Amino acid sequence: MHPRILLGAATLLASAISRAPAQVRGRVKDGVYTSPSGSFKVRVPDLLQPGVEITDDAPEVDVWLVSFSDALCREFVVTERAGQLAGDSLDAWVDHQVVPKLQAIKVEIRDRRLIHTKQGTAVFLRYLHPQAAPCPRPDTVKPDAEVGTYIFYLGKRFYRLLYVLGLDERLPEVASGIRRGPVDSVLSRFVEGFEVLTPSSQSSTPSTPVAQQPDPVLLGRALKAHPEDLALGFLAQSYNLSGAKTAAQGVTVHMMLDGGDQTIDQSNADQFIALFEGRLKTYDAAIRQRGFSTIAGSYHTKVSPQCTRLGFSDGETTIKQQDFQFQLSNDSISHRGVIVESALAVEHAGDPDIHLVGRVTSGRIVLEHKPSKCALTLMRS
């Protein structure tokens, strides 16, 4: 069906939505979305049915994102992130932390100013983002998008409200009484429906939801991942969980997580513990669905000369296995490992940043650490 015909036939507004779709973790009541932690609420914007999507997720630790989109090639977004201004004003922080990142991806900033709202002062940005329209077209590249955003700093948390408008000439500017633009005014109305809730009105739900069941999205990715990557992922989350538990005892821990630096201490350790336990539960489910080989036993081992620097030597190696996890002992040193299908990953006992990966083939295991060119060949004794 042609887009204009589809839009002309759709007359139901999503502002009439009274409850959230089953996959949404927040609460939608009387057309208002409230985050799972109860830290903010926002009125669901007028959206055109059919084609409405409401999604929310925690893409990173202590970050929450909710998105509303429709068939008019536009998206409304609220993100919440813990952080500090580090001595800057909000205006200066945006200059130092936000603007350079936008410039790095070649966006054209068309407007920037301070705006006073009922929630407080915000920095407003409006920019052109090449090929970023929220309406992919399979027959051609995505259209450009005009983006408006309000950035707040409230209660030691950053809130960003965005309106992303696809510049698609095939779409009408008005459909069923809904105007697509201008960006400034549409975003302003969206911001009017946003409210940060006071601590007394927040629920007791932690800001990072604890996954009682495997995360279905992460599980889907894990089931499709290369087996070596899934094994490495399980080892990484196990190591991160150990660090978070150490932080809970009063030690400050620094780690790289999801592409950024994270500091964990007693104030936030419980959130990280919940995150890592949830990921491990999901990876565990994926590995069990995919299956794993049995490799317990004794092996005669031959190593390349480069392996001596890592503490591996020729001789006997023993593997003790429990389900898909195992301990590989060589030269009196025991190393943790995980096997997925016939693929292995081993974490070096002396340096958890060093991993050996390999495969089981006809009773023989070959493990490699490519950066050092170390290779171990294990043959059953």
Which of the four pLDDT bands, split at 50, 70 and 90, describes residue 136? low
Dist CA 51 CA 69 (whole Å): 8
CATH number at residue 29: 3.40.1000.10
The end-to-end CA distance of the chain, in Å, is: 67
- Look at residues 290, 305, 324 and tell me which one is the last residue of a structural domain: 290
State yes or no: pLDDT of 255 exceeds 50. Answer: yes
Q: Is residue 210 part of a domain?
A: no
**Residue 268 sits in the same domain as residue 359:** no
Residues 332 and 261 grouped into a single domain: no
> What integer pLDDT is reported at residue 131 of this predicted model?
85
Tell me whether residue 369 is in a domain.
yes
Task: Give the tens place of pLDDT for each residue, 102-118.
Answer: 888 888 899 999 998 88
Q: Binning pLDDT at 50, 70 and 90, where does residue 227 land?
A: very high
Answer yes or no: do 100 and 240 share one domain.
no
Q: Residue 209 falls within a domain, yes or no?
A: no
Does 206 reside within a domain? Answer: no
Looking at the structure, tell me whether residues 98 and 242 fall in a common domain: no
Q: Are residues 19 and 44 in the same domain?
A: yes
Residue 16 CB: number of other CB atoms within 10 A? Answer: 11
User: Does pLDDT of 43 surpass 90?
Assistant: yes
Residue 328: pLDDT band by 50, 70, 90 thresholds? very high
pLDDT at position 210 is 42
Q: How confident is the model at residue 198 (pLDDT cuts 50, 70, 90)?
A: low
pLDDT tens-digit series, residues 345-381: 999 988 888 999 999 998 899 999 999 999 999 999 8
Looking at the predicted structure, is the pLDDT value of residue 199 above 70?
Answer: no
Number of domains in the chain: 3
306 and 240 housed in the same domain: no
- Domain end: 270, 290, 310, which one? 290
- Please compute, for residue 60, the number of CA atoms within 13 A of its CA located in the half-sphere on the CB side: 13
The per-residue pLDDT for range 60-107, each reduced to its tens digit, is 767 889 999 888 888 999 999 888 887 788 998 898 889 988 888 888
- E strands within 26-82? 27-29, 32-34, 40-43, 53-57, 63-70, 74-82
pLDDT digits (tens, 9 = 90+) for 213-225: 677 878 888 899 9
CB atoms within 10 A of CB 272: 25
> Strands of 74-82's sheet, edge to edge?
53-57, 63-70, 74-82, 157-166, 145-154, 120-129, 108-117
Same domain, 324 and 342: yes
CATH number at residue 349: 2.40.128
pTM of structure: 0.51
Q: Same structural domain for residues 64 and 97?
A: yes
Give 176 or 136, the one with higher predicted confidence.
176
Specify if 126 maps to a domain: yes
Query: Based on the domain organization, do 72 and 103 belong to the same domain?
Result: yes
Is 297 or 133 the better-scoring residue by pLDDT?
297
Domain final residue, candidates 173, 201, 229: 201
Give the pLDDT band (50/70/90) at residue 307: very high
Does some domain include residue 207? no
SS3 330: strand
**pLDDT value for 360:** 94
Task: Please give the mean pLDDT across all residues of the chain.
Answer: 84
Q: What is the mean pLDDT of residues 303-324?
A: 93
Residues 39 and 186 in one domain: yes
Q: What is the mean pLDDT of residues 201-214?
A: 45
**Enclosing domain of residue 258:** 216-290
